[in-house]
Chain A
Amino acid sequence: MSHKTITVGGLSRVEGEGALLVRAHDGRIEDLELRIYEPPRFFEALLRGRSYTEPPDITARICGICPVAYQMSACQAIEAACGAEVSGPLRDLRLLLYYGEWIESHTLHVYLLHAPDFLGYDSGIAMAADHRDLVQRGLALKKAGNDLVAAIGGRPIHPVNVRVGGFYRVPSRRELAPVAERLRRAREIALATVSWVAGFDFPDVEHDYRFLALHHPGEYAILSGAVITSDGGSFDVRRWPEHVTEEQVPHSTALHARLDGSPGYLVGPMARYSLGSAQLSPLAREAAAAADLGPVCRNPFRSIVVRAVEIVHACDEALRIIGDLAEPDAPYVAVEPRAATGHGASEAPRGTLYHRYRIDTGGLIGEAGIVPPTSQNQARIEADLRHLIEPRLDLPKEELAALCERAIRNHDPCISCSAHFLDLHVDAR
């Protein structure tokens, strides 16, 4: 009879703080808990009683990596409640801002957080010492995203130019010209990035994922769309609370989400790609094909390739939009409050991010609900870990712990968001 306990205390290279505990007995896993122990941030409670104009700025503080996602989902939920619609050039500018954030966030993960796993380094910084040119290239790519966010959002981190209904000020075509020039260079780097990561050695692992992502008839969904799943389901974002429920689990301060009563579905780049790869830009599709990605990706280790392909798409689409951009009549549309509940969802870099607000006739928020990607993925990450390590329990504990960390990083969990926060640590005894 043999017992084995793996504890990872202080997960590295993930956003936030979390831990992993695995208890195995006679070759079978008895308990596997991805523990999120950072205290919840109570943003939903903080929003009650605030004005309907405030959630874009307040919720952007939940995450330093994906504030635009929070702003976009918040704006759309509030606009839906108020019966307003943002379309045309203002919607295009929102897309541009969002593509900037995808470039920033995905590049950070690909170059500094995830690639070290494949090249045998403990950190992106250790990798930088040996691969200076590669990391410099990644920083240049990320900077193109920062510049795009700054051009539309007013600054590269925590944009301040977003408001319900649009923007406080819109940039001129002249202001966007140098950004486009940098994006052209970034698109070349993004293509080189796909080729680079496609050559990594990937463990031969596939999971039977149940994917969830947004679908938009006219674009690879990022800003808005209906919710679709890989088992053929589809529903309007207004129906989200009927389909996605959250529950508390004792070992985590993040909620676990269930889709139609079942836990363990997956959102994020693999879900988006597998449900909508045909809608990627032609250049991104070519890059995916050259990387031998196929139309569906079920190997979580290859998610780094999917992210790189999405960077190509983001650069490509951003350039297309800048090229076609018309100046809007006004920087925003008027949004007047009314007593209603509004729902909004967008595709954050890590997956579908849902917001709901109930406001009154005076525009005060009575109730707010936020479902971030990591809380949706947490149960699925635990399932990945269970499937990955149960057949490998004979490996040395250090090796198993390292494999667990890699499996978690495949999904780029943003613990800051999910505790509505995660830190990882492993410890063997």
Chain B
Amino acid sequence: MSTRGKDVVIGLGGDGRGDDAAGIEVARRLRACLPPSVAIVESAGDPAQLVEAWTGARLVVVIDAVSSGVAPGTVHRRAGVADRASWHGSSHSFGLGDAVDLGRALGRMPARLIVIGVEGGDFTTGAPITPPVLSAIDALARELEERFRQDPT
């Protein structure tokens, strides 16, 4: 699927490890309600897949679970990943930072990249998503749906 000129939402994470699924859960909610002009991607963090997904894209929004010690469900936002180091500590095999470095090395970065982190509270294998993170997932999905519907091009 080519995402050239499109907007792309990428949910990072994995099922089965509690709040680690926050990013992919937001992506799944948006898949059900956004027009096909917005590409929805679920990813475990493979840099090659991320670079493929965002090459030539207009706007890319990446949502991932994070663990910084603040209250679970807190939403962290930043445009771009200039402060690469702070995004390196992914629970996945590779970090989003690796994907950004690879994209830059290959000249395959999107025109605009927004990274949203959802603070997780429990990443235990087999644990369910915690209530505050579920609330944050729902709120983020609503906010992003509205944002993309206001600017569908």
Chain A residues proximal to chain B, CB less than 8 Å? 15-16, 41-43, 46, 58, 61, 64-65, 108, 112, 124-126, 128-129, 132, 135-136, 138-139, 142-143, 146, 155-158, 416
Contacts and interface: CB of A to CB of B under 8 A. Distances in A.
Contact of B45 (A16, A58, A64, A126): A64
Chain B contact residues (Cβ within 8 angstroms of A): what range? 20 to 34
Contacts of B17: 61
A125 B105 contact: yes
A157 B105 contact: no
B52 A158 contact: no
Contacts of B48: 108, 112, 138-139, 142-143
A136 B106 contact: yes
B15 A156 contact: no
B44 interface: yes
Contact of A132 (B45, B52, B98, B106): B106
Nearest to B43: A157
Interface in B56-94: 92-93
A382 to B, nearest CB: 23
Task: Give the residue among A143, A146, A156 with the most B Cβ atoms within 10 A.
Answer: A156
B101 A46 contact: no
A143 B52 contact: yes
Interface of A is mostly: helix
A15 B93 contact: yes
A156 B40 CA distance: 13
Contacts of B93: 15-16, 64-65, 416
A58 B92 contact: no
B14 interface: yes
B126 interface: yes
B49 A146 contact: yes
B49 A156 contact: yes
A128 B16 contact: no
Interface in B28-67: 42-49, 51-52
A124 B102 contact: yes
Given A16-B93, A61-B17, A43 B125 contact: yes
Contacts of B42: 155, 157-158
Contact of B14 (A64, A124, A128, A143): A64
B152 interface: no
A128 B49 CA distance: 15
Contacts of B126: 42, 46
B107 interface: yes
Interface string B113-135: 00000000000011000000000
Contacts of B105: 125-126, 128-129, 132, 135
24 contacts: A41-B125, A42-B125, A46-B125, A61-B15, A61-B16, A61-B17, A64-B92, A64-B93, A125-B47, A125-B98, A125-B102, A126-B105, A129-B105, A132-B105, A135-B102, A135-B106, A136-B106, A139-B52, A142-B48, A143-B52, A146-B52, A157-B43, A157-B46, A158-B42
